[in-house]
Amino acid sequence: MRVQEIMSRHVISINVDAPVIDAIKTMLSYRIGALPVVNSYGKLVGMLSKGDFLRRAEIGTERKRGRWLALLTGTDRIARDFSRQHGREVGEIMAPNPFTVSENTPLEQLVCLMESRGLKRFPVVRGDDLVGMVTRTDFLTAIATVSRDKHGSTRSDDEIRRSLLTFLSQAPWRPRPLDIEVQDGTVTLRGAVSSASARKATIIASENVAGVKQVENQLTEIAWPPAEEDLGGGDFVSLQEEPSTVDDEAL
């Protein structure tokens, strides 16, 4: 999936010359945590978020530095901090040059950007034009939509069973041979797994197959590896031949 499939296209923005109090009223009215800032041509020039109001002179939270710390910080930094803490217009307190993404940015890339930069939202641009916003909330909406479509689909029991067998045969947690039965969209799992985590993952994998309405768990936990006689039977065996190591050589 790409950004354009989950982003919000109705974007609430504010002009760079607007009074700070107007930005506050807009954020409170729409219950949003940030505003894209645009110029008179509608071009994105910055972002204004709740964090920009943490240190403000009105509430006595502006930074106060002693003489020596001020010398270490530098006069330029002190001047910038003063402007942001006392500014009366949006352009004076906003964060300029915000990080942006395009409509065609893959969601995996967007997630990596959010994680690496610690950001909750990105403006979506086409050139310099603001065309949308994508936030963490949009991921919730996308997941809910996909889940609804997946579980609302109609598939035969045989199709469901084949899909589940195909996935589990390649599952990295290597489930043991399992007996899987599907009737009227209800999956019944029987057999042994190596741990509580493997059991949970197997159940969740079953729940995520399109067309599954319910999962009946009849799995039991048995320590890994199984006895040699347990390797036969069941719908599949995912054990793979492991390369020999020095420890395997005869003494």
The structural domain count of the chain equals 2
Asked if residue 184 belongs to a domain, the reply is yes
* 121-126/129-135 β-pairing: antiparallel
Asked if residue 245 belongs to a domain, the reply is no
Query: Are residues 87 and 203 both part of a single domain?
Result: no
Tens of pLDDT, residue by residue over 165-217, are 988 888 887 767 789 999 988 999 998 888 889 889 999 988 888 888 889 99
pLDDT above 60 for 148? yes
The strand ranges marked E within the chain are: 14-15, 34-38, 44-49, 95-96, 121-126, 129-135, 178-183, 186-193, 214-221
End-to-end CA distance of the chain: 54
Q: What average pLDDT does the segment 115-143 reach?
A: 89
Task: Return the bridge partners of 179, or none.
Answer: 190
Looking at residue 152, its pLDDT comes to 58
* Residue numbers of the domain that contains 113: 3-143
175, 146 contact by CB (below 8 A): no
Asked if residue 21 belongs to a domain, the reply is yes
Instruction: Please tell me the pTM assigned to this model.
Output: 0.61
Q: Is 169 helix (H, G, I), strand (E, B) or coil?
A: helix
The last residue of one of the domains, among 111, 143, 175, is: 143
pLDDT above 80 for 233? no
Asked if residue 246 belongs to a domain, the reply is no
* Distance between CA atoms of residues 214 and 219, nearest Å: 15
Tell me the HSE value of 138 on the side-chain side, using a 13 A CA sphere.
Answer: 22
Query: Are residues 127 and 17 both part of a single domain?
Result: yes
The last residue of one of the domains, among 143, 178, 198, is: 143
CATH number at residue 74: 3.10.580.10
Tell me the HSE value of 75 on the side-chain side, using a 13 A CA sphere.
Answer: 0
Looking at residue 153, its pLDDT comes to 63
Q: Across all residues in the chain, what is the average pLDDT?
A: 82
Burial state string for 13-41 with b = 16 or more CB within 10 A and e = fewer than 16? bbbbebebeebeebbeeeebebbbbbeee
Query: Are residues 65 and 189 both part of a single domain?
Result: no
Burial state string for 107-123 with b = 16 or more CB within 10 A and e = fewer than 16? beebeebbeeeebebbb
Reference 69, options 81, 57, 58, 83; nearest CA is 81
Looking at residue 237, its pLDDT comes to 41
89, 22 contact by CB (below 8 A): no
pLDDT above 90 for 15? yes
Tens of pLDDT, residue by residue over 48-89, are 999 899 988 888 888 776 666 656 666 777 777 788 888 899
pLDDT above 90 for 46? yes
Decide which of 95 and 174 is more confident.
95
CATH number at residue 171: 3.30.1340
